[in-house]
Amino acid sequence: MNRVAGAELLLDRAGVTAGMNVLDAGCGPGRITLPAARRVGQSGEVVALDIQPDMLQRLRKKLAEQSVSNVRPLLAGIGEGKTTPESFDRAFLVTVLGEIPDKTAALQEIYRALKPGGVLSITEVFPDPDIQMPDTILSLARRTGFLITPKTGGFPAFTINLIKPERS
Ligand SMILES: C[S@@+](CC[C@H](N)C(=O)[O-])C[C@H]1O[C@@H](n2cnc3c(N)ncnc32)[C@H](O)[C@@H]1O
């Protein structure tokens, strides 16, 4: 996974920089969360959301071991509405979308949680059994109101960045 969809590559693709607030939805044990926390620095924050308590426990252990203080673990399913509206510059769904039963609710929550101009970066990796194909992602994105940017990468890992429009 780290060879084909490494954290630094995915942070670059999403344009994560110092001072940003980042939502890592379906963070697992923190493969993206920890590098994101380092990149945003003390002036930024990462909210690490996962539906599995075990994953957040593993993440908390790493945060303590590495003395990381700018990550806020959040036990929730994405789509349940536990995130703060218009609070994030970037959001990630990395090999998560296929595990979410109500994908529309998930994308709607992330749309609400992003600031205008914020980016949701979705990465899918072959041969994940839950992989979502670009057409499915694009159709969900259009229904939610996101602006679509060209896919980056390809096989075995691709990323699609979706932008929440600026207010007119
Ligand atoms: C394949 S892992 C990916 C973890 C991480 N994104 C990565 O790239 O290493 C999928 C994660 O999504 C989480 N997940 C599944 N459904 C979810 C939901 N509805 N809301 C939040 N997290 C969810 C799982 O608990 C699991 O930790």
Q: Give 8-51 pLDDT, tens digit per residue.
A: 999 999 999 999 999 999 999 999 999 999 999 999 999 999 99
Phi then psi for residue 47, to 5 deg, are -95, 120
Q: Which residue has the CA at smallest separation from atom 23 of ligand 1?
A: 26
Q: pTM of the prediction? A: 0.98
Q: Atom 15, ligand 1: which residue's CA is nearest?
A: 99
Atom 11, ligand 1: residue with shortest CA distance: 26
The residue behind tokens 């995915």 is 10
Average pLDDT, integer, range 127-138: 96
Given a cut of 90, whether residue 156 has pLDDT beyond it is yes
Q: Which atom of ligand 1 is nearest to the CA of 78?
A: 20
pLDDT of residue 2: 84
* Ligand 1 center from residue 31 Cα (angstroms): 11
Separation of CA 102 and ligand 1 centre (Å): 14
The mean of the pLDDT values for the chain is 97
Calculate mean pLDDT across residues 92-112: 98
Pocket of ligand 1 (CB under 6 A): 25-28, 31-32, 49-52, 55, 77-78, 94-96, 99-100
Mutate to test the pocket of ligand 1, among 99, 109, 122 (most ligand atoms within 8 A of CB): 99
Q: Are 47 and 83 in contact (CB under 8 A)?
A: yes
Position 126 scores a pLDDT of 94
For residue 78, what are its two tokens? 């994405």
Q: Which long-range contacts (CB under 8 A, 24 or more apart) does 149-154 make?
A: 152/13, 153/5, 153/13, 153/123
* pLDDT value of position 128: 92
